[in-house]
Amino acid sequence: MLEKIQLTTKEILDKDFKVSIRGYNQEEVDQFLDTIIQDYEMFQQEIERLRSENEKLKKQVHQPKSKTGQSAGQVNYDILKRLSNLEKAVFGKRFAD
């Protein structure tokens, strides 16, 4: 599951670093970049998980199979055909008309 995202793109864009005597505070910049790296690693993991799940679902949609290896449509057709034959046997010709 996706953890809480620490930064938005706006926060990254708007981030101001304090300037020290020799430029930006290196420790503050490093901490900020570490947070960005953690977020991007989390995004990448979530993207990969969703891609994998998406592929699995696509395969299920394109190849819906029952435990016997028949498609769901074929199983339903077979059940309906058997039910029709059973009704004819029980109720006779009168039901078939």
Q: What is the pLDDT of residues 24-50, one digit of tens each?
A: 888 888 899 889 988 988 988 998 899
Q: The domain containing residue 45 runs over which residues?
A: 1-63
Same-domain pairing of 84 and 47: no
CB 23 within 8 A of CB 17: no
Does this model's pTM top 0.75? My answer is: no
Same-domain pairing of 43 and 53: yes
CB 6 within 8 A of CB 38: yes
Same-domain pairing of 2 and 15: yes
Same-domain pairing of 26 and 54: yes
* pLDDT tens digit sequence for 50-65: 999 999 888 877 765 5
3-state secondary structure of 28: helix
